[in-house]
Structure 1
Amino acid sequence: MKVMITFHALVSPALLAALLIPLTLLFLWLEWKRKNRFLVLRWIAVIVMMAMAASLFLRPVVTSKKNSSILLLTPGYEKGKVDSLLQHYPDLQLWHLTGAAPYKKSSPLADHELTIRGDQLRFVTGEGLPATDLDLLDNKTFTFIPNQPTAGITSLSVAQPVLAHHPAQVQGTFYCATPGKKWIAIKGPNEKEDSVLVEGPGPRSFQLSFTPKQKGEWLYTLAVRDSTEKWQEEKLPVYVEADAPLRLLFIQDFPTFETQYLKNYLAHAGHKLTLRYQLSQKIFRFEFANRQPTQINRLTHDVLEETDLLIMDDGALQKLSAGEKNILKASVHAGLGVLILPHATKTKPDDLFPFILTPVKTDSATIALQGKAITLPALPARLQNNSTVQSLVQNKSGILTGYAFSGAGKLGFQLLQETYRMTLSGDSVGYGAFWSPVIEKLSRRATQASSIQITTPFPWYTDEPLQTTLLSSQPNPTLFADTTQLPLREDERLDDAWHGQLWAGTPGWHSLQTDASSLHYYVSEKGSWNSLRQNAQREQNQLVSTTGDSSGEQVLVQKELPALYFFLALVAAAGFLWFAPKL
């Protein structure tokens, strides 16, 4: 490897030589005139002093021919992996990112240099490049070698939407760096909602549930405790929406305790209910809750358009006329939800009940609900696992509650019976935790004129860019971040999709709004959710990582010699000249 020395001179070398050479000769003559010891050493000190003075102005640069490929060290890199790479590829240039500790004379890579040297990156190790830096690279041709995750929460999601008085779920992954037990708990504004035990080492999945009491912007606390009773807490922002009332229609042959308790629960939640029971062939009895009384003697398009979910037993289904069944099929295809409560194991499959039930010997079933085992009466039949059926409640014997898509709507079934026993035993929360997901999943989905998403992974910090996506059928939609309108770019491939970018403001709650919808989001304090942010960064780097050629080209690399070395040598030489006569 050929090495050359060049200069980045501050002044003309000729002018510098014309000045320093006579001075050097003068100082040598003056030292010769002195009748002191160490003449040769004093001459050497004069030459060194003047050479160092010249170097301060000439700024020598070492130019060498090296491999262009760069191994970039990012925060959290592991020295063993770096040594292994250098052993296989000894010609790699070693650079470190701002915030990463230098290693083996690695050179610092400033943020503005990343775009210049981006094409030379062959390996990136550690936590990886931040998303903002990845966006600056035109060609991402590096291989990413991640470090081991730090202990903590590495993935987290809250099932949306979160509705007041409805059970909500938090799912995530906790990485245990060492063996041992960890307790993860979610705390509401006033009390602990749920907790779970995980044991390491390695990644462990967890799920927590909570039931918000009021709509609005809330900060829950996600806490982790180890065996030493040490707690680590993070703020979990949750926006709770008001529970929009659903329009429910019950059609049954006769009233049951199951129906009455379900009616009371749904009416208390504010839903609009109509219940119809058949007393004789043409005589019906009606009950209403949270709506004006309206008699429904037969199913029509108008009736079903004003209904989000139809709940009926198999007997009432079989008594529908052919015309009513055709209307019901069309309404389901348009988005209506239907829940069938079969009372017989031999309910015949058809277009409105496309499920084949398998008889079983037991007339009860044990299910897991909110971390507890609950045994309830059940129809002695099960639906076996089926790729076309979405399971809502199941156990080892099969699916007990589920649904299948039919056009834009859903057809569902419920085999458990006498679920009101949970209420009678004092577990009204469990009763709600069972029925709320069933009602929500099967009901007609509300149509929105627009939808807002933040595609940048949580958490979000101050002064960092957030990428947004707006889905809107309007020709020229507008999007506001708090009170500032954002410029939008229409997607080139997807219809009705628009993209924008905003910069996160001060820590706390903020909002994005359009004319038809809004999104509330929370900006976290820097330093919070470290393990979650680091894992998201690793995943982003792994997505763009390649396994290309690491040989690279031969390029000239210049490295300026530090001026501090020349200054220290100058001071040492001058000090010797001052101290030598005293010896």
Structure 2
Amino acid sequence: MISSFGIGNPGMILPALIGGAALLALLLIKEWADRDLGALWSRILAAGISVASLVLIALEPVMETEREGRLGILLTEGFRQGQADSLKKAHPGIRTFDYKAGQPLQVPGEVKTLYILGYGPQGYDHWQFAGHRCHFLGASPPAGIMGIQYRKTLGLGGDLSVRGLYSNAPDSTRLLLLDPGGNPADSVLLAGEGVSEFQLRGVPKAAGDYVFTLEARDPRGEVLSAEPLPVRIRTGNPLRLLILNTYPTFETKYLKNFLAGRGNALLVRSQLTRGRYKFEYFNREATPVYRFSDKILSDFDAVIADWPSLQNLDPASLRAIEKRVAESGLGLFIQPDEDYFRQNPGRAYFEFSAGPGESANPGEDGELERYPYFLSGPFTAREVQNPGSGPIGVVRPLGAGRVATTWLRETYPLVLDGKEAAYAQIWTTLLDAVVTAKGEALEWEALTGIPRVDEPFEFRVRTGITDPEVRNSREARIPLIREVLLPGNWQGRDYPRETGWNRLRAGPDSLPTHTYFVYDEKAWESVEAHQLLQANRRAFSDAEDVSPLVKQKEPVPPIWFFAAFLLGMGWLWLAPRILPGG
């Protein structure tokens, strides 16, 4: 189907028009001089047709047509040759192309429909598929670890808890957690075929940056796989916490024991009657606090308050807390009740939607009841993910500080069941989400899960600095892009050149650095394959439909213009010989 016409030789437009106009003028002058011959207008028309034909021959006009595009097969890592052979048999003449991550897509424009086999392309290459109709056929996921969750930064003395899924393990396969010295810290026997859940624990002995190893062995002791687990162990400074309760509860009892046992400084205020309070002090001086001001709150890193206590504060105290959060980075954690989730977002700091009914949140070794509500706003809020058990709360920035809450009803039953490690992990995760580092004007967040050499490592920086400057381990400056909706957030991309620990730093040495681990090309291949399969299924199922038709420009055969030129010049030559006035 012809859709439009165009000029194939645009560089000749001006010379052709000037030359054609001059030639037409000469022919018109000649024919006007011989006007007594008769048939003047037919001779003028013939002159025009002849000159126009010459001009069109010089301009080489083309017509744009549409036809069915060709088919292609894109082979990515993990593809099955049998699947490719089946496509070739079903579509004779289909072309095959190889995908190379980070390289230009070597698929010509005439190939409009692509069948993608294997695990699929990397996310940073998806833009190259915008002009193609893609059918992602995927591949069978590989055997091995298909999912892994653990905290990559721990406080000294905390438990390293590693949870994950293993697909199609050979019979009697044993999974071991090895410490940085190669000594077994824990092990588990996998179930065999299908998907097996596993959980391993270890206790780091000293602060620093270490690499544990997750090793799979067959019954003979042969190593099937060995995957690195980078962990950063930090000593950390004790937190200064203010806990407000309407009345003493078991939840607060076990929470204050846990926090005080970790060396944190606590002031616990529980209301007894109107205007009367019970004060408890742990690792700090006994100084009661009845009303709150900016000066008093400067002695705390975070406030943990149940919802009724927060609502019962006098307006001046509540304003002082909100001001301290927004301007000085104080953390505010709200222990909710049923009424809290029904509040408007202006009072509750979050917007929640009711769920289909009361549900349960899986704990590390069991389940914890949760309130039947789910986060629906604001857009700056995010869920707090507990490694191995999914979301356990929500957090949002509020100026320089953060506000957080949880939808877990009670966590102390974990302690009663002897699951202190699970309890500690939940509260460490929640407090890490709400407490900003003391005195730090900059915060880092890694956006790339498995960094590799010469592949983009994306990160986010949150800071109040007007124009932050980030440099990598090679002291090369990394360009940053400011997020439009959150001006204090910046995103950047580094391309690490070495495996192991790499570092990013921002500005002066007083600002915190970000250390991340770069894996070699063979590490965590099975996990990355599963993640890539899922990401590509989502991406190509949501992609906009592309027409299978391809547009191409075909030159108009010049023989037609040459024939018109001969007819016109033939009449100009023949007219003087046959007309009566000739």
- Aligned counterparts of 1:76 and 1:314: Cα–Cα separation in 2: 52
Q: State the match for 1:531 in structure 2.
A: 526
Give the deviation of 1:511 after TM superposition.
Answer: 0.8
User: How far, CA to CA, are the matches of 1:252 and 1:300 in structure 2?
Assistant: 18
Residues 455, 469 of structure 1: 8 Å contact kept: yes
**Counterpart in the other structure of 1:362:** none
The aligned counterpart of 2:372 is 385
SS at match of 1:117: coil
The answer on whether the counterparts of 2:147 and 2:527 sit within 8 Å (CA) in structure 1 is yes
| Counterpart residue number, 1:296 | 289
Q: Secondary structure at the match of 1:124?
A: strand
- Which of 134, 138, 144 lines up with 2:136 in the alignment? 144
Q: 1:272 aligns with which of 265, 283, 295?
A: 265
CA, structure 1 residues 147+421, in 2 after alignment: closer, same or farther (shift >3 Å)?
Answer: closer
Candidates 77, 81, 84, aligned match of 1:82: 84
Tell me if structure 2 keeps the 8 A contact 1:67–1:554. no
Counterpart of 2:501? 509
Distance 2:539 2:304 in 1: 49
Indicate the RMSD between aligned Cα atoms, in angstroms: 5.4
Q: 1:128 to 1:199 in 2, by over 3 A?
A: same
Residues 117-163 of structure 1, C-alpha deviations (whole Å, 9 max, x = no match):
36636233224345676666774554332221211123444446543
**Structure 2, gaps ≥5 residues long:** 1-67, 351-359, 377-382, 555-582
Residue type at the aligned position of 2:208: G
Aligned residue identity for 2:75: L
Match of 2:227 in 1: 234
1:462-498 C-alpha deviation (Å, 9 max, x unpaired): x444344444443332111114222415358564555
Q: Which residue of 1 aligns with 2:167?
A: 175
| 1:217 positional shift | 1.0
Task: Tell me the secondary structure at the aligned position of residue 237 of structure 1.
Answer: strand
Q: Indicate the residue corresponding to 2:236 in structure 1.
A: 243
Which residue of structure 2 lines up, in the alignment, with residue 93 of structure 1?
95
In the alignment, is the contact (CA less than 8 A) between 1:74 and 1:96 conserved in 2?
Answer: yes
SS in structure 2 of the partner of residue 387 of structure 1: strand
Q: Do the aligned partners of residues 416 and 478 (structure 1) sit closer, same or farther apart at CA in structure 2, a change above 3 Å counting?
A: closer
Q: How does 1:33-52 map to 2 (within 5 A)?
A: none
| Equivalent position amino acid for 2:495 in 1 | W
Spell out, residue by residue over 1:310-359, the C-alpha distance to the aligned partner (whole angstroms, 9 max, x if none).
Answer: 456899789866765676688789965356599xx999x997999xxxxx
> TM-score when scaled to structure 2?
0.58
Q: In structure 1, list runs of 5 or more residues that go unmatched.
A: 1-65, 100-110, 355-365, 375-381, 394-398, 557-583
For residue 216 of structure 1, what is the aligned residue in structure 2? Answer: 208
Q: CA deviation at 1:296?
A: 1.8
Q: Select 2:475's aligned residue among 484, 490, 503.
A: 484
SS at match of 2:374: coil
Contact 1:118-1:137 within 8 A present in 2 as well: no
1:503 is matched by which residue type in structure 2?
Y
Distance in 2 of aligned mates of 1:135 and 1:217: 36
Compared with structure 1, are the counterparts of its residues 531 and 555 closer, same or farther at alpha carbon in structure 2 (3 Å cutoff)?
farther
Within 2, Cα distance between the matches of 1:403 and 1:467?
23
Alpha-carbon offset, residue 271 of structure 1: 1.6
* Cα 1:518–1:182 shift into 2, 3 Å: same
Assess, with a 3 A threshold, how the Cα gap between structure 1 residues 174 and 553 changes in structure 2: closer, same or farther.
farther
Shift of 1:186: 3.4
Asked whether the 8 Å contact 2:251–2:410 carries over to 1, the reply is: no
> Retained in 1: the 8 A contact 2:132–2:546?
no
| Corresponding residue for residue 516 of structure 2 | 521
3-state SS of the aligned residue for 1:274? Answer: strand
Deviations 1:430-480 (A, max 9, x none): 66446544555665787964444454441413x444344444443332111
Give yes or no for contact 1:388–1:404 (8 Å, CA) kept in 2: no
Structure 1 residues 448 and 86 mapped into 2: Cα distance closer, same or farther (>3 Å)? farther
Distance change >3 Å, CA 406–CA 294, structure 1 → 2: same
Equivalence for 1:371: 365
Q: Which amino acid aligns with 1:235?
A: P
Name which of structure 1's ranges 503-512 and 283-292 shifts more when overlaid on structure 2: 283-292
Check conservation: 2:292, 2:321, Cα contact below 8 A.
yes
SS of equivalent to 1:512: strand
> Closer, same or farther in 2 for the Cα pair 1:337/1:240, shift >3 Å?
same
2:570 corresponding residue in structure 1: none
User: How do residues 415-564 of structure 1 correspond to structure 2 at under 5 angstroms?
Assistant: 429=421, 432-433=424-425, 435-437=427-429, 439-440=431-432, 449-461=441-453, 463-490=454-481, 493=484, 495-496=487-488, 498-515=490-507, 516-539=511-534, 541-542=536-537, 545=540, 548=546
How many Å separate the matches in 2 of 1:156 and 1:97? Answer: 27
Q: Contact between 2:188 and 2:198, CA under 8 Å: does it hold in 1?
A: no
Residues 152, 232 of structure 2: 8 Å contact kept = no
Question: Which letter does structure 2 place at the counterpart of 1:526?
Answer: E
Q: Cα–Cα, structure 1 residues 388 and 477, in superposed 2: closer, same or farther, change >3 Å?
A: closer
Inter-partner Cα distance in structure 2 for 1:285 and 1:409: 25
Aligned to 2:27: none
Could you say which residue in structure 1 is the equivalent of 2:13?
A: none
Equivalent position amino acid for 1:519 in 2 = H
Aligned AA for 2:144? G
Contact 2:414 2:422 in 1 (8 A): no
Sort the Cα spacing of 1:498 and 1:285 in 2 relative to 1 into closer, same or farther, 3 A.
closer
1:332/1:87 Cα in 2 relative to 1: closer, same or farther (>3 Å)?
Answer: same
Cα pair 2:115 2:134 within 8 Å, conserved? yes
Distance 1:197 1:285, change over 3 A: same
CA contact (8 A) 2:373 2:407 kept: no
- Sequence identity of aligned pairs in percent? 22
